[in-house]
Structure 1
């Protein structure tokens, strides 16, 4: 009788030990999962970008792209896709590089390109035409040229092109200062290219009198 009771007690003890050993790994796994979740949380309790897999604002800025139309004296003219903030020099390289006929001195190679613009890499004749239109007797370098062979942002006859001109060029217009020039750029970025000169009246700060003061000096 005593021997049978001893065997029964031993069996119960063994069963308890086996159950405890099986429960331990599950408990340890749960603890590790809780620790990992806490480590991936931000100080304010919100999940971090690493935990959620969502890219941060910095990653978005670094991966942004723009499209630029490169024409003229390059090996592969056409539309190139580059990172936001890419300089004109790198864009020319992306188009296969300049040809032997290119006159790079007429371009601002250090300028950051903007989405949707067109860059003409001119030959000697085109560079001379651009210099005559903008630099006069000085013969100095001129801004980036566009498809019509004169500086980017200007049209035929040296008119300021509302759809391609940068802030500095817009500020050459009568009664257009830095703030108003930026509003013109903001308007076209939000609404697309100007379809007519009269659309400038939709830009805050430009009335009929202001527009009449430089109407003959702008184009689209």
Structure 2
């Protein structure tokens, strides 16, 4: 019994000595990482996709990813006219057409590739590149007349294009 009392007394002394030291030990602080909130853009996809609708996606999302978000293309979808690796612009509507659907005469200046733009009258490769750069920097064209804000496209060029383009 005496040994137990001595043992408890020694344990008590050790606790009195070491507990304050343990409590005063500095706690290692973790560096907080800032939360990065991605910029979201709003786009609509319709036509030959399994889940058409309006989607909020990260800026820089490609057409391919958006089509996958819409649960993929239907069997009849014609993806040959779309650059799947091109980033999507904010506030645009994307129509996925059927393979046998006739191609419309109008070129969508918000989604047209370089190759499609150079097919338009008075639009060479340099001007087509400026149109694409303008889209990437300023976002989607809201009206076809906004095309005149691109360097090299004045009233005369716009008059040649206005019946051939859409937004």
Distance 1:96 1:183 in 2: 30
Distance 1:210 1:116 in 2: 26
Residue pairs, 1:199-210, within 5 angstroms: 199-208=146-155, 210=157
Name the structure where helix makes up a greater proportion of residues: 1
CA drift of 1:206 comes to 3.7
1:200-220 per-residue CA deviation (whole Å, 9 max, x = no partner) reads 333344444554565554344
1:91 match: secondary structure: helix
Distance 2:111 2:70 in 1: 20
1:125/1:95 Cα in 2 relative to 1: closer, same or farther (>3 Å)? same
Q: Does 1:92 align with 2:64?
A: no
1:217/1:71 Cα in 2 relative to 1: closer, same or farther (>3 Å)? closer
Does the aligned pair in 2 maintain the 1:73–1:98 contact within 8 Å? yes
2:148 match: secondary structure: helix
CA RMSD of aligned residues (A): 3.8
2:100 match: secondary structure: helix
Residue of structure 1 equivalent to 2:165: 218
Residue pairs, 1:133-148, within 5 angstroms: none
List runs of 5+ in structure 2 lacking aligned partners.
1-15
Distance 1:184 1:125 in 2: 32
CA drift of 1:106 comes to 3.4
Larger radius of gyration: 1
1:116/1:52 Cα in 2 relative to 1: closer, same or farther (>3 Å)? same
1:66-120 per-residue CA deviation (whole Å, 9 max, x = no partner) reads 44322223332222344555454443343234444x1345354743450433333
Q: Does 1:106 align with 2:80?
A: yes
Counterpart of 2:53 (choices 78, 81, 102) is 78
Distance 2:136 2:59 in 1: 17
1:52 match: secondary structure: coil
1:120-142 per-residue CA deviation (whole Å, 9 max, x = no partner) reads 3333431xx12xxxxxxxxxxxx
Does the aligned pair in 2 maintain the 1:68–1:113 contact within 8 Å? no
Question: Aligned pairs, how many?
Answer: 148
Does the aligned pair in 2 maintain the 1:69–1:80 contact within 8 Å? yes
* TM-score (structure 1 length as normaliser): 0.48
Residue of structure 2 equivalent to 1:68: 43
2:111 match: secondary structure: coil
